[in-house]
A and B are shown apart, each in its own frame.
Chain A
Amino acid sequence: MPLLEVSDLQKIYTSRFGANQVQALSSVSFQVERGEYVAIMGESGSGKTTLLNILAALDQPTRGEVQLNGKNLRSIKEKELAAFRRDNLGFVFQDFNLLDTFSVQDNILLPLVLAGKAYNEMNARLQPIARKLAISDIQAKYPYEISGGQKQRTAIARALITKPQLILADEPTGALDSRATAELLRLFREINDEGQTILMVTHSITAASHAKRVLFIKDGAVYHQLYRASMSTAAMYQKISDTLTLIATGGARK
């Protein structure tokens, strides 16, 4: 059984008085196996963010289904959604979404505190993750005192600390410089090598070239996919680049 199964997703946004209908997703289907590292690419407006919001149960599809670990997201009650999200999904955002009222440590611990864990257990989980992400010595600092790369590593730590089934990353390198980007991608690969499933939405070819599989979305549907297999990162980069050119110039193949 795949970890994530997306079948025939459609999402139509209706403007307030029903005058305009916008189809963000027409029909999206794909599967993600446990331990996979999948990048979803597409141009602005291709429906990437909508897809991610539906996967995160922040939004409801107009048609179609999402199953995580065999559980249909639709079947989860509104009340339990927050807890479900907290326990099963980890989020990494482009703009980090750290709370400026919390120190680095408290930002990371937030999901565990919400889940009602004891402090000793929290701390036991925190230390190895902080060490791995090289943020042990900035734990007491506040988000405005640290660099963008450190912020994103903090956000990753926050996503990992609940031991989620799936990490959803939305343009995680979008606000980072090239060095911090390289560092982040190395970390993602390392985490993935340890068995963590990652689904990343991105614009960046560099970011996508580190993934094991890349899905291309165009006009609200999966247009193409690439498997890394034994390709090097450089070769993968070239492949993705070619595919994007093809999509942009309106190639007809599927």
Chain B
Amino acid sequence: MKTQRKMKGSFYVRLALNNLRKNAKAYLPYLLTCFGTIAMFYNMCFLMLTRDIGPLSNSVSLRQILMFGAVIIGIFSAIFLLYTNSFLVKRRQKEFGLFNILGMEKRHVARIMALETLFTSAVSLVIGILTGILLSKLMLLLLFKILSANITFGFEIPGGAIRNTLCLFGIIFGLTLIYNIAQVYRAKPVELLRGGLVGEKEPRTKWVLAVIGILCLGAGYYLALTTEAPLAALGIFFLAVLLVMIGTYCLFAAGSIAVLKLLRRNKQFYYQSRHFIPVSGMIYRMKQNAIGLANICILSSAVIVVLSTTVSLYVGMEDVLRTRYPRNVIVNATDVSDRQAAALDTLIAEQAQLHDMTPQDVIRHRYRIFLTNQDGTEFVGDRDQYYAGQSMAMLVFMTRADYLAMGYQSVTLGPGEALLYVSRGHIPGEVVRFGAAGGDAGGAGGAAGTHGDAGYTLSIRERLNSFETVGQLTAMLAGSYYFIVNNDQTLTEIHNALFGKGAAMAERSYYYGFDVAAAPEAQISLVSALNTKLKEYGASQGVSGLYAEGAESERASFYTLYGGLFFIGLFLGLLFIMGTVLIIYYKQVAEGYDDKERYEIMQKVGMSRAEVRKVIRSQVLAVFFLPLITAAIHVAFAFKLITRLLVVFNLTNVPLFAACTGLTVLLFAVLYIFVYALTAKTYYQIVSQVRG
């Protein structure tokens, strides 16, 4: 009795193993994806937890970035694996039906299914984690290389990483198990046997969906093209992405069928051997594959966007650093008098001399900053300091005298006239108005230079193309504008217009930046020495807000942020590419089986093999390059919005981003074609298999 049961058990095991072997062609890509995603997820967890990151100065924020990466990879792994699994199980319906008819009950089939899922899961977890462990050192090297950090040696397998991986993929595989068993129970034997052969209805044209698709896509594109303000860009980017995604799904699902049916209605066009079979075939193909193709399209767009942005951020990091720190060493003081400013000059010169350094390319600003809320050309001050994140704008004011002191060419400015430099943001107009919150914002009449309750109006005489900006302002996610006005009198009037006459105007701020030719370590020690002295001086004068900063001191944290993002970008790019390849492969296989019979019939009614091959090629090409082309169009429309978005990250180098995007699109297209060619081969093999 016992041996009999044992034999029965091993029978199921053998059957399950046999099934897997028989379906190897379909299962291999799935298993490879399992290995890949598990190894990737393990590595993210490993990097997040490894001791080697400890010594890095910004280990906490780096770990946060890596955790963010791990979460995203986890989510997408789950989506890919569940999708692929559902595809695999659907293809095997016929097999289940056969088992049923051969006398197995559903619970027996379910048992085989469960065993199969267990085998694949166990194999995936073991091989995936082993691969992950083998690659982990390499990943660490890569990460440190990207971060330009020193490499520590050691080998480590964090238990937490293995635990996380086992947990996540245990849950994913558990879900696939439940899904597979549910599939077995839900199916009816006769239907199972017939499998995919049940009469496929012609899809209906869903005009509503097509129109929604066009509207969403149009709205998304419109948003992407018309957004000027970088600050708004972040929110709008997600809205636009959402709209474009909805639009893509709707258009692939409904729009494609609508177009094809219109083509079919044109008899002269449709009844040509070149169009006849592709058009009618595509109508059916789109019904089954629209979602898959839309997925490919969206994944492709994601790969291109993620890679191009993170690569350009990383490559443009020096640019970014220079924008944030226009000089190697920067001293900043708020609310200081001219006398105190002169004292600071002496202090800085002393310290530089002490460190054997000569300041070069000195920039000095005397300026005032007013925080306001911006609404187009209206700037509103608020004494209660309430500023909304989206509309917040920092206005930097300088007098003509301060401007000339910086060494710029002489200009003549009348009262109510200004030069403008836009560091970040957009002012749509050449006349700006300043007013107080709660005051009468309307009725702005009056000539330039007027003031009073209606506010103060300033006309822009000239927009400057470049300006020595105040570096630290670029780190804030707010609009920043530089105004140069004729004298302090005008400035006071603007201040009063913004904050009312009662509010006292603070002294000007002082910004002193210079380059030094010295090793990074020396620069760092100069900055810290300056900070000590500034603190002492500030205390003696009763002024706070004196500090020094330097590019070298902050470089490491920049590398952590941008390098970390770049690293995750690479990982995500790889993951998305894996997902794309997977979906393409399974689409090809599925279509191959569907089309096999059709091409047999066509050959019988008088089509030559060469003609069949030509038809297959044109149809498959159209279907598979549609997503790539659509993705390229999406990226083209997103380009401007992304450049605005990158401004928030201080990357203003548009040619660099354009080059990165172009290169990414090109490389991706090459990869796509390569993958397509490989899988198309499988398709031809399936289609041309001789039956019987």
- Chain A residues proximal to chain B, CB less than 8 Å: 56, 58, 78-79, 81-83, 85-87, 91, 93, 97-102, 106, 109-111, 113-116, 119, 122, 142-145, 158, 162
Contacts and interface: CB of A to CB of B under 8 A. Distances in A.
Contacts of A85: 606
A56 B603 CA distance: 11
Nearest to B609: A82
A86 B200 contact: no
Interface in B594-650: 598, 601-611
Quick one: which of A78, A81, A119 has the most chain B CB within 10 A? A119
Contact of B276 (A58, A87, A106, A158): A106
A78 B602 CA distance: 16
A3 to B, nearest CB: 19
Main secondary structure of the interface of A (DSSP, over half): helix
Interface in B191-227: 199-202
A79 B608 contact: yes
B607 A82 contact: yes
B87 interface: no
Given A100-B200, A101-B280, A83 B608 contact: yes
Interface stretch (B28-36, B179-187, B266-274): B266-274
Given A113-B271, A114-B606, A82 B201 contact: no
Contacts of B283: 101
B316 interface: no
A86 B601 CA distance: 13
A35 B259 CA distance: 47
Contacts of A111: 605-606
B623 to A, nearest CB: 14
A58 B271 CA distance: 26
28 contacts: A56-B604, A79-B610, A82-B603, A82-B606, A82-B607, A82-B611, A83-B606, A83-B608, A85-B606, A86-B606, A91-B604, A99-B280, A100-B199, A100-B284, A100-B598, A106-B280, A110-B276, A110-B605, A111-B605, A114-B607, A115-B273, A116-B273, A119-B267, A142-B199, A143-B199, A144-B199, A145-B199, A162-B606
Interface string B490-528: 000000000000000000000000000000000000000
Contact of B202 (A83, A93, A99, A142): A142
Closest 8 CB pairs of A and B: A144-B199, A86-B606, A82-B608, A119-B271, A97-B601, A113-B276, A101-B280, A101-B284
B281 interface: yes
Nearest to B601: A97
A82 B267 CA distance: 25
A56 B604 CA distance: 9
A180 B598 CA distance: 25
Contact of A93 (B200, B271, B284, B604): B604
B264 to A, nearest CB: 9
Contacts of A110: 276, 602, 605
A81 B608 contact: yes
Given A79-B608, A142-B202, A101 B281 contact: yes
A85 to B, nearest CB: 5
Contacts of A81: 608
A93 B600 CA distance: 13
**Chain A CB within 10 Å — which of B267, B280, B281, B284 has the most?**
B280
Nearest to A155: B605
A58 B273 CA distance: 22
B605 A86 contact: yes
Contacts of B604: 56, 58, 91, 93, 97
Contacts of A100: 199-200, 284, 598
Contacts of A82: 603, 606-609, 611
B272 A91 contact: no
Contact of B201 (A78, A86, A98, A144): A144
A106 B609 CA distance: 21
Given A79-B608, A101-B283, A109-B271, 12 more contacts: A82-B603, A82-B608, A87-B606, A99-B601, A100-B284, A100-B598, A106-B280, A114-B606, A119-B268, A119-B271, A143-B199, A144-B199
Interface string B254-287: 0000000000000110011100100011011000
Interface in B277-300: 280-281, 283-284
Contacts of A56: 604
A113 B200 contact: no
A110 B599 CA distance: 13
A144 B271 contact: no
Contacts of B611: 82, 114
Given A114-B273, A114-B611, A122-B271, A97 B199 contact: no
Contacts of A144: 199-201
A56 B605 CA distance: 10
Given A100-B200, A119-B271, A91 B605 contact: yes
B276 A99 contact: no
B648 to A, nearest CB: 50
Nearest to A170: B604
Contacts of A87: 606
Most buried by A among B200, B202, B283, B606: B606
Contacts of B267: 119
A56 B271 CA distance: 26
B576 to A, nearest CB: 32
A89 to B, nearest CB: 8
Contacts of B201: 142, 144
B689 to A, nearest CB: 15
Q: Which of A56, A102, A116, A143 has the most CB of B within 10 A?
A: A102
A113 B200 CA distance: 23
Q: Which of A85, A99, A115, A158 neighbours the largest number of chain B CB atoms within 10 Å of its CB?
A: A99
Contacts of B281: 101
A100 B281 CA distance: 9
A79 B606 CA distance: 12
A120 to B, nearest CB: 9
Contacts of B605: 86, 91, 97, 110-111, 114, 158
A99 B602 contact: yes
A91 B604 CA distance: 8
Contacts of A102: 280
A99 B284 CA distance: 12
Contacts of A119: 267-268, 271
A79 B284 CA distance: 30
Nearest to B284: A101
A84 B606 CA distance: 8
A91 B602 CA distance: 12
Contacts of A142: 199, 201-202
Nearest to B202: A142
B612 to A, nearest CB: 9
A103 B31 CA distance: 41
A116 B272 CA distance: 6
Most A CB atoms within 10 A — which of B276, B283, B605? B605
Contacts of A113: 271-273, 276
A102 B605 CA distance: 14
A98 B601 CA distance: 7
Contacts of B200: 100, 144
Contacts of B610: 79
Nearest to B598: A99
Interface in B354-382: none
A144 B200 CA distance: 8
A162 B199 CA distance: 28
B200 to A, nearest CB: 6
B611 to A, nearest CB: 7
Nearest to A142: B202
Contacts of A145: 199
Interface in B152-210: 199-202
A97 B609 CA distance: 17
A110 B601 CA distance: 11
A81 B609 CA distance: 10
A78 B608 CA distance: 9
Contacts of A83: 606, 608
Contacts of B199: 100, 142-145
